[in-house]
A = this chain, B = another copy of it.
């Protein structure tokens, strides 16, 4: 059920760039972080794509994400080394030339001082029309061109920049309830069908867990209106078989990342 197509709901896509993730040398921490921040912001993440450090794959994926989503976040490929090609790829995806950004160049000079290498300055070569997103705690601002935020793969810096960008993106948060039951998905299916039919504006999911002694299925209910989530919860609880309910959880919702 992709009911996140609400016209009030902004959408986002993430493009995670890096051979190291696909080959298992480094475990991606950035998509999970972004997922949590966007959930709390009420921005609907509609796709995550992990691609190698390869020109065609990056250009094509960024270009499609740019057309489909309100916001695009890329992670990785913006350092000074030979395989860092994200900025020229984003330029190609947006049909823009690469220019040396004077503000960024100055900041890199300030940051590295004597240690500045020619390779560092590649980080100041950005698509024409790039704007900088400044914020607390950032040594180097986040880079945005049109709807594409180009972020580094290094997890600590990625998180800092996402937090700064999140403050830009005001949106309506989701209200969710999680229901843990001792009922398998087969027996739940007709009950959930019924809830889905009565509450078409509520996102209903069910996730069996076979290796948990505690519960058999986790049912999730989510909408942008607290009253609708609660009404769907009540409808679900009424229909559950005697003794099936274990507990109901409120994962919380807030306007800004923790």
Contacts and interface: CB of A to CB of B under 8 A. Distances in A.
Contacts of A247: none
Contact of A46 (B52, B189, B206): B52
A196 to B, nearest CB: 6
B27 A79 contact: no
For the complex, would chain A's binding face be called helix, strand, loop or mixed by DSSP majority? Answer: mixed
Copies in the complex: 2
Interface in A13-51: 19-27, 31-32, 35-36, 38-39, 44-51
Contact of A52 (B4, B49, B157): B4
Contacts of A49: 47-50
Interface stretch (A92-100, A115-123, A125-133, A141-149): A115-123
Given A47-B50, A83-B1, A178-B25, A19 B117 contact: no
Contacts of A188: 81
A112 B189 CA distance: 15
Contacts of A79: 185, 206, 208
Contact of A22 (B19, B23, B47, B206): B47
A9 to B, nearest CB: 11
Contacts of A117: 186-187, 189-190
Contacts of A22: 35, 44-48
A193 interface: yes
Given A154-B209, A211-B156, A189 B52 contact: no
A20 B206 CA distance: 9
A114 B52 CA distance: 48
A75 interface: no
A203 interface: yes
Contacts of A153: 207
A203 B36 contact: no
Given A1-B19, A26-B207, A210-B157, A185 B83 contact: no
17 contacts: A2-B19, A2-B52, A19-B205, A20-B205, A20-B207, A25-B178, A26-B207, A81-B192, A82-B189, A82-B193, A82-B196, A112-B186, A115-B186, A119-B190, A154-B209, A156-B210, A157-B210
